Amino acid sequence: MEVFQITVLSLQVSTIATLISLVIGLPFGTLLALGNFRGRSLILSIINTGMALPPVVVGLVVAMMLWRSGPFGDLKLIYTPWAIIIAQTVIAAPVVTGLTAAALEALDPRLQQQLLGLGASRGQMIWYLWREARLPLLAALMAGFGAVISEVGASMMVGGNIKGQTRVLTTAIVLETSKGEFDFALALSALLLVITYIINLSLTWIQQRGQKK
């Protein structure tokens, strides 16, 4: 029963974090790819740096923000699933944003002018560009999910690994290993790998179907 609870919580927090990252990263990455404004290169370099942020650093910063003495301490989110979601979103958002920008920049730049010349509004043009880049955009989604479902440092620091409340698969693996329960830790690791494989297999299948159309 505990393993089921841990697994469900892992999927919940990582899925929510990935979806929030998509909501943030898709439009922001599109703006960076299509925009031509001052400071664009600087922002892109920050995003690219953010794609390699160590999870423990993210966990430390988010924890400092959410501690009672922190600026968001009154929200009482520290050591809750939402704290893990926030930390994982910070990890995944730069990944989704950076890969979205790269995917759209790889399209033929003449395509934008052709669409606008045919009478498409800017919103319609962006929607069509997203459709054209749907395969790499799906890869961005997979990369974002992979970055958060497997991380442990940030989840441990902001969630506290509390049984029945904030314990996810990765933090449970660390706990069982520290207790010397290697068989159980290996079983949890195998479960995490299977879940990750099934999800990525499903997304890859969708991606391959889209490639054939």
Mean pLDDT of the chain: 89
Q: Give residue 78's Cα distance to chain centre.
A: 20
> What digits encode the pLDDT tens for the residues 118-164?
777 888 888 988 888 888 888 899 899 988 998 998 999 999 889 88
Per-residue H/E/C for 116-184: HHCCCCHHHHHHHHHHHCHHHHHHHHHHHHHHHHCCCHHHHHHHCCCCCCCCCHHHHHHHHHHCCCHHH
Rounded CA-CA distance 64/58 in Å is 10
Rounded CA-CA distance 97/90 in Å is 11
Q: Name which of 135, 157, 40, 34 is nearest 91 in CA terms.
A: 157
Is the pLDDT at 207 greater than 70, yes or no? Answer: no
Q: Name which of 212, 211, 52 is nearest 138 in CA terms.
A: 211
Is the pLDDT at 91 greater than 60, yes or no? Answer: yes
> What digits encode the pLDDT tens for the residues 31-68?
998 888 888 889 999 998 888 888 999 999 999 999 98
> What digits encode the pLDDT tens for the residues 17-41?
999 999 999 999 999 988 888 888 8
**What's residue 63's pLDDT?**
93
**What's residue 31's pLDDT?**
93
Angle at 50 between CA 67 and CA 32, to 5 degrees: 120
Contact by Cβ (8 Å): 138, 206: yes
Task: Give buried/exposed letters for 188-206 (b at 16+ CB in 10 A, else e).
Answer: bbebbeebbeebbeebeee
Q: Which stretch of DSSP H or E encloses residue 42?
A: helix 40-50
Contact by Cβ (8 Å): 62, 158: yes
> What digits encode the pLDDT tens for the residues 185-196?
999 999 999 988
For 129, the token pair is 């560009």
**What's residue 212's pLDDT?**
58
Rounded CA-CA distance 45/16 in Å is 26
Cα dist from 146 to 15, 22, 40, 97, 130, whole Å = 10, 13, 27, 15, 22
pLDDT band at 210 (very low <50, low <70, confident <90, very high): low
* CATH architecture entry for 2-212: Orthogonal Bundle (1.10)
Q: What residue segments make up the domains of the chain, in order of their start? A: 2-212
For 176, the token pair is 């069982």
Q: What is the reported pTM?
A: 0.90
